[in-house]
């Protein structure tokens, strides 16, 4: 099966590609990524020469480029490309609308035109907004996004429905909770806290730190995406979660204990405007239908993530300095492997 992954140079995408290359020998993967600040091809350096993998730099909102790539003939599209950092969406929402909304529409149109038989659209639990205490949202809950990021993801979901309804496009939507694990860019909570703590720098905690998130290990989520690709029902939404929300402060304290660092590094800072208090999903539909369950406990996954960041201090440092960004030039542009050389 020829599979196009968008956003494969990011955190979840690169973990997903590693998993597919390791465990799904029937899949041939093309990774379409614009390489924004969040795209890091070093994440895939170990598989770059695999005969089942190739990379093409393109903007998912560029209709000509996407059309040219899809013309190569794909059996399935896994759509992960997005602007993803809520804080950045508060500074400038425009790239979020362009990539997350227009980019999704461009892709849907190309999927329709080229008759792709399957698409998995990667949405987020944030489209539901903040969950009341002790309640969790199932797939029928209203969309009440609170940030420009989550509003752009909700808009993308609605566009997907319109293409499913009007054109019968075979798209499955996944809405997942917060992921953590290897290759996560150190602007997100867990790798940021690990990176700061390793250097004995303050850990900035928004507000009172009691915002609750239901963390899932990225390998577990990658398996969920693969399960949706194989057996998800077209036109359906599935929530995906590990099932145990915990507060940011709880997560940070666990991290400090794992790292052997003092809690005095915790520094409370002004809360993010509009910060959702709690995310919680009912993911029984996905578990029951697809037989999926998280394999890793949070404690085990977090300890492994701390170890991964420790063992990959050079990767973390290149993320922080920006040095990772010259990888594409050296390994692709200098070797003539660009979109211009794409064999469509």
Ligand X SMILES: NC(=O)c1ccc[n+]([C@@H]2O[C@H](COP(=O)([O-])OP(=O)(O)OC[C@H]3O[C@@H](n4cnc5c(N)ncnc54)[C@H](O)[C@@H]3O)[C@@H](O)[C@H]2O)c1
Q: Which of residues 230-259 bind ligand X (CB under 6 A)?
A: none
From the list 21, 27, 29, 35, which residue makes contact with ligand X (rule: CB under 6 A)? 35
From the list 42, 77, 103, 159, which residue makes contact with ligand X (rule: CB under 6 A)? 103
Q: Determine the 3-state secondary structure of 20 from DSSP.
A: helix
How many residues at the interface with ligand X, by CB under 6 A? 30
Report d(CA 144, CA 150) in Å as an integer: 9
Report d(CA 6, CA 3) in Å as an integer: 10
Place of tokens 């425009």: 94
Nearer to ligand X, 78 or 116 (CB): 78
Decide: is 176 part of the binding site for ligand X (CB under 6 A).
yes
Decide: is 77 part of the binding site for ligand X (CB under 6 A).
no
Query: Which of the ranges 2-10, 17-25, 198-206, 276-284 carries the binding residues for ligand X, by CB under 6 A?
Result: 2-10
Decide: is 61 part of the binding site for ligand X (CB under 6 A).
yes
Query: Which of the ranges 6-14, 48-56, 224-232, 294-302 carries the binding residues for ligand X, by CB under 6 A?
Result: 6-14
From the list 17, 27, 86, 122, which residue makes contact with ligand X (rule: CB under 6 A)? 122
Q: How far is the CB of 100 from ligand X (least distance, A)?
A: 7
Decide: is 89 part of the binding site for ligand X (CB under 6 A).
no
Neighbouring CB atoms inside 10 A of 210's CB total: 13
**Which residues form the catalytic set?**
125-126, 149
Nearer to ligand X, 110 or 265 (CB): 110
Q: How far is the CB of 262 from ligand X (least distance, A)?
A: 28
Question: Which residue in the shown chain puts its C-beta closest to ligand X?
Answer: 10
Q: What are phi and psi of 13, to 5 degrees?
A: -60, -45
From the list 17, 18, 39, 252, which residue makes contact with ligand X (rule: CB under 6 A)? 39
Nearer to ligand X, 80 or 193 (CB): 80
CB 83 within 8 A of CB 134: no
Q: How far is the CB of 264 from ligand X (least distance, A)?
A: 28
Q: What is the DSSP string of 202-270?
A: -EEEETTS--EE--EEHHHHHHHHHHHHHHPPTT-EEEE--S--EEHHHHHHHHHHHHT--GGGEEEEP
Decide: is 124 part of the binding site for ligand X (CB under 6 A).
yes
Decide: is 225 part of the binding site for ligand X (CB under 6 A).
no
* Structural element, H or E, at residue 96: helix 94-96
Between the alpha carbon of residue 309 and those of residues 80, 191, 247, the distances in Å are: 23, 8, 22
Q: Which of residues 185-204 bind ligand X (CB under 6 A)?
A: 185
Decide: is 213 part of the binding site for ligand X (CB under 6 A).
no
Measure the CA dihedral 81/117/222/53, to 10°. Answer: -70
**Token pair for 24:** 């799904």
Report d(CA 190, CA 184) in Å as an integer: 8
Q: How far is the CB of 139 from ligand X (least distance, A)?
A: 15
Nearer to ligand X, 81 or 119 (CB): 81
Report d(CA 99, CA 6) in Å as an integer: 11
From the list 3, 17, 29, 38, which residue makes contact with ligand X (rule: CB under 6 A)? 38
Report d(CA 61, CA 105) in Å as an integer: 8
Decide: is 150 part of the binding site for ligand X (CB under 6 A).
no
Nearer to ligand X, 74 or 265 (CB): 74
Nearer to ligand X, 35 or 111 (CB): 35
CB 232 within 8 A of CB 172: yes
**Helical pair 218-231 and 11-23, crossing angle rounded to 10 deg:** 60
> Which residues are at the interface with ligand X (CB under 6 A)?
6-7, 9-13, 33-36, 38-39, 59-61, 80-84, 99, 103, 122, 124, 153, 176, 178-179, 185
């Amino acid at each position: 099966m020829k599979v196009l992954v968008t956003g494969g140079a990011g955190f979840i995408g690169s973990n997903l590609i590693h998993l597919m290359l390791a465990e799904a020998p029937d899949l041939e993967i093309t990774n379409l990524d614009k390489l924004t600040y969040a795209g890091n091809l070093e994440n895939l350096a170990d598989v770059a020469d695999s005969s089942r993998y190739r990379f093409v730099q393109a903007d998912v909102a560029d209709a000509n480029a996407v059309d040219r790539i899809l013309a190569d003939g794909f059996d399935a599209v896994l759509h992960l490309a997005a602007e993803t950092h809520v804080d950045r969406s508060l500074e400038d929402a425009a790239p979020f609308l362009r990539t997350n909304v227009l980019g999704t529409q461009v892709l849907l149109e190309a999927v329709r035109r080229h008759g792709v038989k399957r698409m998995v659209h990667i949405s987020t639990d944030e489209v539901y907004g903040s969950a009341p205490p002790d309640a969790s949202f199932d797939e029928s809950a209203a969309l009440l996004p609170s940030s420009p990021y989550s509003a752009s993801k909700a808009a993308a979901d609605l566009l997907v429905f319109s293409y499913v309804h009007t054109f019968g496009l075979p798209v499955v939507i996944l809405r997942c909770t917060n992921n953590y694990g290897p290759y996560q860019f150190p602007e997100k909570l867990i790798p940021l806290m690990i990176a700061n703590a390793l250097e004995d720098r303050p850990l900035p905690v928004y507000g009172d730190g009691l915002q609750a998130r239901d963390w899932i290990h990225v390998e577990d989520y990658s398996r969920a995406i693969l399960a949706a690709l194989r057996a998800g029902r077209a036109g359906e939404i599935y929530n995906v979660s590990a099932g145990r929300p915990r507060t940011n402060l709880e997560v940070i304290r666990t991290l400090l204990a794992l790292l052997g660092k003092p809690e005095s590094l915790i520094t409370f800072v002004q809360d993010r405007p509009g910060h959702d208090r709690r995310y919680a999903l009912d993911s029984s539909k996905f578990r029951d239908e697809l037989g999926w369950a998280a394999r890793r406990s949070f404690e085990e996954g977090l300890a492994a993530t701390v170890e991964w960041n420790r063992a990959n201090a050079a990767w973390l440092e290149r993320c922080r300095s920006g040095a990772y960004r010259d990888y594409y030039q050296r390994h692709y542009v200098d070797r003539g492997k660009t979109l211009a050389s794409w064999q469509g």
